[in-house]
Structure 1
Amino acid sequence: MVPDDFRPDEVSTVSRELDRRSRQQSDVARLGVLALSGVPISDLFGEALRSIRAHLGVAFAGVIRMDDDSAQLVAADGFFPRAEALPIDPGTLAALLRSTGEPIVVPDLSQETRFRSALVFESTGAKSGVAVPLRARGGTIGGLAAGDTRTREYPVEEVDFLQSLANVLSAAVLRSRQDDELRRSQNRWRTLVENANQGVWTIDPTGRVEYLNARMAELLGVRPEEVLGKRFLRFFTPAERRNPRWREAPVRGLRDTLEVELLRADGRALRVLMSRSSLENERGDHQGALGIVTDITARLEAAESVAASERYFRSLIENSLDSVAIIDGENRYKYVSPNVRAVLGYHPDELRGKSPFDFLHPDDMRAALSCVEQASVAPGEVSFARVRFRHNDGTWRWIDASVRNLLHDEIVRGLVLNWHDVTERYQAEQALRQSEEKLRQAQKIEAIGRLAGGIAHDFNNLLTAILTTAQLAAMDVPEGSALRNDLGEIRQAAERAAGLTRQLLAFSRRQVLRPRTVDVAVVVTDLEKMLVRLIGEDIELTAITEPNCNVRADPGQLEQVIMNLALNARDAMPRGGRLTLRTGKVDLDVEDGRRMFGCPVARGSYVRLQVEDTGLGMDESTLQHIFEPFFTTKEMGKGTGLGLATVYGIVKQSGGYIRATSHVGAGSTFEIFLPETSEMADAPVQRPPAIGTGKKGETVLLVEDEELVRIAARKALLHSGFHVLEANNGVHALKIYGLTRIDLVITDLVMPEMGGRELATKLRQHNPEVKVLFTSGYTDDPTIRGGETARGIAFLPKPFTPESLGQKAREVLDG
């Protein structure tokens, strides 16, 4: 049976939204896979821009590349970009993007004051746009932008999606630049080999010549094509061919230098030194040999040639992007290439004789030991690891390292370490993962929030009818009656259910607040006696307060935050302990926010509420999830998992920030930061008169579409001495209003045909002095949720009791 209030359009909207965000996540992941697969950067740009236009529905999108002093459109979709680069002058979008490093949203370009010109928006007819930075190596290297020919808003989820794509592109651009540098290095190597003074040739596994450079052909006195494909022994003298060493089977890891007699094409013998190295694939299979040949006809020339060859290979190592080191059998540096200074800040002499393990992060020690042990198993064995190495400035750098076992080599006699710095790549990958995680978390909270809103609206209507009917019925039952007790239990159960819906709305930041200027120190002091009873005698409570810690917040919700944290601390101290509450003032800036909360905060003065216990504490894994709804470390039936989620929701909805620090066995500390206000704290709210007191006889127009709620509210109002007229929606209410004198309109906010907000607007057009009391189990209206309403208008959340309805009605009438 489908409920009467079932709204398929709402379900469809939520479903479409979830599906849209799922597709966005899928496109981000797909772009990441393409980036890792080595797709050309231009193709990757194209994929990203098409995805942006498809998901955001914009007219065009583009990628901006930034150099030191200029910006250029390098990819576009939906328009033809200008080819020339333009300077990054003050007042341009590129300058703003580089200086802030943050997304820039422009709903209406004609109203924009932050910059005067925008390369990506010129000649496109754009009226709105959004741009996010491409970040790498601690700076902005470009931007990803989208624009439209109409003014429009760009919601935060669209900006997050755009930034997620930008993070992928940043990592891809960085890797592309590194690949380009590697190719240039390889080209330099190839040029050096082709122009080397030594002969170089490679031999395949069958003993045939695969490659030789010009110098090798010159030494043999032939053209290169006369040698390729022929057996290399053919170019040795007959005596050399008979040497037994040429009949030996290939040896893995072979590397030696031999004096060899070559036979030139003109018949002359040529004495050379040939350095040969076995060529092996990743599995260690023999793939042939490399020979480097030096003419040693004259001993002096031979000595100089050997020295030149040594300098040549040293130059290759020293100018490589990778650092090279050799450690001996006791894991101590024998050799470190000079470029280690550029990578890690050390002079090679500072490392020589020391162990690489002295510089590794403690958490990476096991992985590094395993890598060395694996390489030490057999000659030529290679292993890999990603570890953190301490830079000379004290920071940690992520490096990808390989270890090759050449302990058996007569020249090297050690383990060869080869590593390169991947800190920026690692940070970009982590930033991408964090961005995706934040997006998933935001989507989860949004989905639960929508669910909470739907539950609150319908469930609170039912609870209103239950609470009101039970209380009114109890008034007609004598004291001591079993029926009166039963009605009391019904009321208590309904109030507990109402509390649960309030928690759901609190963590999803959708509850209605009643903000006032309050002194946090006074709130803590007023709660102190209650908290002592709440946490038990075996826990010592200490409150250290600084006066005049004034903030704008809902006092009741602030009390809820403190009580939830106190209860959480109590459960963390089963054997007793100490609970300390502190209030004070601190100044925060943008960098403090990033360091403490992972996001920038507005610079200014904040009031800090600190709740510290000496309980069991939490590990890092638990800390990552404590504010998630329904997450609990308590056993089944001992907790809902909403306590800290509620605290987080209240703090965020109040414009504040919260962080938690903890260590296992060392207790936990929760710190809440709320913006300080210079206003004086409001006087305590006086309790309104009880039902049935004060003036009576006013006429109330009750507008409610739920019949059970309307009947219960009518009985409560009659019991409070009001005359009651009823309407089941806004249209019906407009017909009744004006037929007789009406002193107060009590209306539900969410109703078919015409809701309460529209009804109040139309009534005020007829009578600007009309007094209106809104009621609702849940509202999306941000003004009402923030506790701000116009004069003569008030709000009463459902579920309400007969007393609260009568009191609120009296407040509005007497106000």
Structure 2
Amino acid sequence: MEIITEYNWLLVIISVMAAIGSSFVALSTVPRIYSASSGQRSLAWVAAFGLSLGTGIWTMHFIAILALQMPIPVQFDITLTAISLLLAIIASAIAIVPLRSGGHLKTFALKTLFIGTMMGLSVAGMHYTGMAALRMNATMHHDSTIVALAIAIAIIASTAALLIANRLRDTRIFSQMPTKTAAAIVMGIAVSAMHYTAMEGMRFVELAIPHHFTEVIDPLILAIFILIIAFLIQGGIIIMALFDEAYTISEESTRAMKQRADINKSLSEILSLALENMTLSETLQKVLDVLLAIEWLALDKKGSIFLADSKSSCLKMVAERNLGDDLKQLCASVEYGRCLCGLAAERKTLIFKSNIDADHVTRPDDMEDHGHYCVPILSPAGLLGVINLYVQPDHVKNSEETTFLTAVADAIANIIQNKQLESQADKIFKAIDQAGEAVVITDVNGVIEYVNQAFCSNTGYSEDEAIGQNPSILNSGNQEKVFYEKMWATIQSGEVWQGEIIEKRKDDTFYPAMLTISPIRNSSGEITHYVGIHEDLSEHKTLEAQFRQAQKMEALGTLVGGIAHDFNNMLAGMVGNLFMVKRKMKGMPELTEKIERVEKVSFQAAEMIKQMLIFARNEEVEMHQISFSAFIKEAFRLHQIVIPENIQINKEITGHDLMIRSNPTQLQQMILNLFGNAVDALKQTKAPAIILHVEQIHADQNFCVKHRDARVGEYAHMMISDNGHGIEKEHLERIFDPFFTTKEVGKGTGLGLSMSITIVKSHDGFIEVESELGIGTAFHIYIPLVAEKQINAESETLTDASEGRGERILVVDDDDTLRSTTAETLESLGYKTIVAENGRQAVELYHSSSTDLVLMDVVMPEMGGPEAARIILEHDPKANIVFATGYDRADSLQALKGIEEIPVLSKPFQISELSRTIRLLLD
């Protein structure tokens, strides 16, 4: 007979509440499984989950059986009951294993569905094993459809429970309470629904013959046992979970504090590297060392840092650690957009890869699998570089790492910008400090805060001496007070002041300077400092004076050249007429002697003109051998005109020829400078006197010790001394400096002695000065002697001219007097003459008449001598031609290119010299 059953609804509710409560406890253990830091702790919490959910399901099952009231006694088989309990616990534990230590389940993954199905079958198996454990005098009959439905509900409920657990795997016990409570209710009702659905598919038929069962347990005892055990288990598990969560939170807090401390320490170390005196590359190497030493960062111990080159759109590796040679070469330069670092540069975003993929295009042959953090280094101005760090394959990206690495990139950006600014500032500082012009920076009150090296070398003040002082330490007194007042008014108004001034060195010597003062403003536009640039104009003034002197000498040379031509022509006419007078007065020795004196004076005048030309010539004259003593005698006669008559002159010039290699023009300039200084020094002297002393000396070792510029050998020594006021001792060391002068302002250029020492040095000599206040000054010039060459000088003795033999000579000159005098002189020697006043007439006469020789001036109107000579030689290559010029012989020779073999006589020439030259050509 079928037994009629009914439910005790209070027990039904208790069974459902038991399922809900155990579900809540089980869900509370899931975060412990997920976050367990060790495998043992994870397995322990897997067991706790299985025990919690398994006992909860089992408790709900047996309370629900107790809720089913039947008119017959019901008992339970102990063995099957225990098996059903273990089955529930084991199935629950196995199902939650995928969530261990950070694991997770995907909603529609086959793995999730498989585990849910197995857990559902296990729950169903627990149910039917528990039902099989019933011992009563009745048989159970199951509806297969209901059984299938119950199993399906078990599978769905199990899968839902797993997905809910997966969703709440990273929560705390009492966090998200509404969600967790709702999840527990859903799980509890779902499990209960499976049980009560299965019970609806069962029928109980009472046995006709009652059975007696052994190894059974009374339902009341079992119920009490189940409730006590369930309460203890669930309470113990929730308490253990609370303690474990508190411990984990404490661990996490400690770890977070340590991590924050490590982060702060690392960032502090990285930022402090910017303060060390290292190059940017060295600094970034140290940054890599700091990063790779951080324990909580899951990094391989290798990486690199690149700097961006915006012009070429490339990254340049500047620092690396533990990269192989292949990678160093392949990654030395990376284009934007290429490989991971290039992508980070192009996108300006952090790139993370847990493994090598298609984006990782740079791959050496032996490369092992790995991951990357590629972090762009950014500034407001744009990309500065990229940090490239290696991680283990399959590494999981987390926010702590990305946040820290982004902060590191920001710190490195500051380092790069600071180093770049430092480098730029260092270049600017070195450029200013090593500039050729003196630079002074003052505050708004004019107190010096900075001076460069040029300032120290130009002024003689050291940096320590100058800083804290006022630029007025350079005031020479040559500018009036109002000058400086205008200067200050200009710069205080914010304008730039520029002007040429005379400044004073520490040793009280003066020098010209171009001063430019500019205001320095802050970001608000306020003037905070002034910068003054002092350009020493000494060398510029020297060159300027030399240029002006060169212009003067060029003009003088032109003037003297013109005068010399006319003067020499007049002397030539005079010599010619004297020659004819002397021939007519043969036998009258008293008169001829006087005529010869006049003739000699004429040639001395011509020699003086030559010296004037040498002195005035602008071009560089080659060094050649001269007699120093003879030159000084002639030079003295030339310069004597600049010496006032009230000055007594004592000459002591050796009679020996002191042969030196010299430039006469330079020697003339030096002697003029020294005589000029001596004359200026004697203006206030009552009995002024100048001594000129020239001698030969032998410089031995003792002499060289006393005169440091001397070398062992023979020297020509010239002394020019005066008995003037003398030179102060502190000025002696600087008298040869350009623009240094002891004369009043406007009375001297300060260049004379500077030029003199330059001239002496160009002659391989040296110059010394002795001076005593109130006694006078002596300048000693030493020039080395050279071996004397044999010079076959023409005798100055006037000899008789060779007589002509009636040959016809064409005399060509634009000076009427000289032309007629020359023709008359030649005729007196027995020659026939015809005359022409320029080259064109000479050519016509030569072609139209029989001519044996042409005596022709060089420079003439219409056609000069050289052009006429070329035309004549073109028609008659054997023509005899002699040039006579009143200009400098060297200048005249320059016009004779191609006809250099034609003899050249310098006017005034001796008639005997002219006669010999003519006879050499005609004979």
TM range (shorter): 0.3 to 0.5
Normalising by structure 2, report the TM-score. Answer: 0.33
Which structure shows the higher helix fraction?
2
The structure with more radius of gyration = 2
